[in-house]
Structure 1
Amino acid sequence: MIRGVIGIATAVLFALMPEAMTVGYALVTLIMLAVWAIVTGALEIAAAVSLRKAIVGEWLMGLSGAASVVLGIIIIVLLVVDPLVTLPSAAWVIGSYAIIAGAILLALGLRLRRSGPVGAAT
């Protein structure tokens, strides 16, 4: 019953205040993105540390993880400083991250491809 009441109340709020609810939804989405970036970045750093003897260029994997953590922290800081300004500027932050992380992961992939089969590193 409680879930049904909350669902109906949410629907009424969306119908009566669509702009406010859309902004709230966008803010929650950014918070989820920031938490995801921090957690996956930390896991990527941990993977780089554990694979340091198995692959060549593990530091690139760690750097990619660090970039993810930085993305999450930047989004959280922007949300704390000014949430409404963060919404349009988040696209620039996420786009910049995507370019940087993409270049790092491309370099890692090329380096791993040149090193041969997994476990071939000395």
Structure 2
Amino acid sequence: MKTILNLVWLVFGGFWLALGYFFAGVLCCILIVTIPWGIASFRIAGYALWPFGRTVVEKPGGSGLASTLGNVIWLLVAGIWIAIGHLTSAFFMAITIIGIPLAIANVKMIPISLMPLGKEIVPTSAPFVPTYH
């Protein structure tokens, strides 16, 4: 079922969403100082391309002060606008019965689009990230 939902998602918006995150990542990496946001954008692009069967969890050890400050900057510069885009897309996807799971996936992406640093995307079969020693 996850594969079918992912294919429908890919056709009805996932490709364009992932492409937007990818280009944002490229832009952030070109600007050197914003490389952490670029890496986060690439991770989210992969998640936006194929979201069903994966979830977002906190990285082991939590997020430090740098991640928190980075997330605040991201939130003010881009996060709010991306979240509004996800909400708008979710609204239009929810109009049809087939689009309801896609709308839910869009809404589930809002937290990582608002605060991407300090997060990890893992398969839903393993929702807890193993600690690294």
- TM class by shorter-chain length? 0.3 to 0.5
Relative to total residues, which structure has the larger strand share, 1 or 2?
2
TM-score by length of 2: 0.39
Relative to total residues, which structure has the larger helix share, 1 or 2?
1
TM-score by length of 1: 0.42
Bigger radius of gyration = 1
